[in-house]
Amino acid sequence: MAVRLPGIRTLLLATYLAVLLLPVAGIGILRLYESALLRQTEAELMAQAAVLSAAYRAAWLDRAPPESLAALPEVELRWSATDYGGRWTPLLPQLDLANAPILSRPADAVPPSRPPDAAALAIGKSLSPVVHEAQRMTLAGIRILDARGIVVAATQDEDLGRSLAAQEEVAHALRGAPKAALRERDIEPGDYSLISVSRNTALRVFVAVPILADRHVLGAVLVSRTPRNIVQTLYSKRYALLETAIVLVAAVVALAWFAGLTVVRPTRQLAAMAQRVARGEIRAVEPLGRPMTREARSLSESIVTMARTLEARADYVRELALGISHEFKTPLTGIRGGAELLRDHLAEMSVEERDRFLSNILADTERLERLVNRILDLARADAVTPQGDERCDLAAAAREIATGAQTSGRRISIADMPDSLTAAIDRASFDIVLTNLLDNARQHAGAGAVVTIRGRVADGEAVVEVSDDGVGVSSGNTERIFDRFFTTARDRGGTGLGLAIAQRRVMAFGGSLALLPTERGASFRIMLKATF
């Protein structure tokens, strides 16, 4: 079973898509990585805020009297996870570069309308060393706010005692729910550095987490930090990226080599084959061993078929030219000799001699005329191109031809012939085939021989057999009987082309003409595709 090969367009499309996907995949991966860095920053800030919130809550419950908790407003816990049975309230990152809005940089803290709570100030003062130490390690800006949004502990001392209640994230947290936001950040000129963690990013992540105790808001923790910059991250992984680039270059080289193997090399081999055909090399063209693509295999087979057809045609023309020159040589020599004798000795010749030489010249001329006509018939037989819709009733044609031959005294009979026997051949071609077979029987079997024509349908084939009761064909001539210019009746006007013409006419319509073995006489069988 032939292997189904891919097409050139399929290979080229796959190659182009692979090359296209390399940068597209790189851009997508970088975008996903940048978003992952953003979420990583958000998760880290949430963890810091959660720890500080727990520390503030524990300190507040230790220092504040129990009745002060009831004075604070009660809120609904908005981020409790029912999947955890109410035992856990996880903080999950929510920011995504693809859909998170980027807010403007936050407004500066403002003086409060009322002083901060005294207990909150005391707790903030106790946590201040923790806040500053955490900033040293995490580089995050940290602010702890009381229940009214007033800063009681901060990494920047100028924010202490000032209010951030108007900031969206803080207001959201004071209502009992955590909030994360992306905000713009001003980059100072000259701050750019590949090794800086924060200076190169134009965005800053803000996370506000409420401090809750029994559904009462004690305050909020606001932490912020610039996410890790993608350029800086890539710079830190420059050696790994260099290795990746080498792999990508190797992949492109491999794709180029693959395209050359599957497209370029077979194309060059096909071009070399075509050049050998153009140079006229005989039997030097063979199918490609590894065509790689359907088009290359098809083109290779077509070139091989074309080369073999050209070789067969060249052999045919060469053999035909040799046969024609051989057949023409004898009558031309006779005409030339007779004409020269008449020219040189016309006055000395008797009337009988002149008539004899003129008769020889006319006989040779008639032979040349028969040869020319037969060669034209052979050329027409070779040029027959079936149209696909030809149909002929072989039985009716055989009866008409036999009737016409019988009127000239020939003994031809129709036996075992159905009323109708249609086949895929045109009437003119079948008339030529049957007429040549009858002429062949007349020349070789003799004028008194009986010719019988039979017909039948067998296995979807229309079969017509033409037999005579003459001397038959000798065993030494059976292999040559369809050769051009081969005849044993040359003295009776045979040209050796009748059977060749008949065979080519039948073969042009996908049929066959063969000599059957017989005990007496000669029998030919015509087989054509039957039509109904």
Top-confidence range, 18-22, 169-173, 259-263, 323-327: 169-173
- Token match 């996370």: residue? 207
CB 312 within 8 A of CB 304: no
- φ, ψ of residue 69 in degrees (nearest 5): -65, -35
CB 470 within 8 A of CB 522: yes
- Note the pLDDT of residue 127: 92
pLDDT for 144 beyond 90: yes
| Cα–Cα separations (whole angstroms), residue 463 to 113, 326, 524 | 118, 36, 10
Tens of pLDDT, residue by residue over 23-76, are: 666 655 556 667 777 788 888 899 999 999 999 999 988 887 767 777 676 776
Q: Which of 370, 344, 368 is nearest to 357 (CA)?
A: 344
Place 192 in a pLDDT band, splitting at 50, 70 and 90.
very low
| Most distant CA pair in the chain, distance | 166
Helix (H, G, I), strand (E, B) or coil at 470: coil
Place 207 in a pLDDT band, splitting at 50, 70 and 90.
very high
Residue ranges covered by each domain of the chain: 49-229, 385-529
Residue 485 CA to residue 239 CA, distance in Å, equals 84
CB 232 within 8 A of CB 196: yes
Tens of pLDDT, residue by residue over 259-309, are: 767 777 777 777 777 777 777 766 667 777 677 667 677 777 777 777 777
- Note the pLDDT of residue 198: 40
- Note the pLDDT of residue 307: 74
pLDDT for 19 beyond 90: no
| Cα–Cα separations (whole angstroms), residue 474 to 90, 471, 477, 524, 525 | 107, 9, 5, 14, 18
Sequence-ordered alpha helix ranges (H) in 158-293: 168-174, 230-236, 238-259, 265-278
- Note the pLDDT of residue 29: 59
CB 259 within 8 A of CB 12: yes
The order of strands in the sheet holding 461-468 is 411-414, 450-458, 461-468, 523-529, 512-516
Helix (H, G, I), strand (E, B) or coil at 49: helix
pLDDT averaged over every residue in the chain:
79
Name the amino acid, one letter, at 460. G
Number of neighbouring beta carbons within 10 Å of residue 387:
6
169-200 per-residue burial string, b: 16 or more CB within 10 A, e: under 16? bbebbbebebbbbbbebeeeeeeeeeeebbbb
Task: Give the range among 76-90, 384-398, 431-445 with minimum mean pLDDT.
Answer: 76-90
Of residues 130 and 374, more confidence is placed in 130
Fold for the domain defined by 49-229 = Beta-Lactamase (3.30.450)
Which CATH class name applies to 385-529? Answer: alpha beta
Place 168 in a pLDDT band, splitting at 50, 70 and 90.
very high
Packing angle of the helix pair 294-345, 351-382 (nearest 10 deg): 170
Residue 470 CA to residue 411 CA, distance in Å, equals 12
Containing 142, the helix (H) or strand (E) segment is: strand 141-146
CB 309 within 8 A of CB 285: no
pLDDT for 498 beyond 60: yes
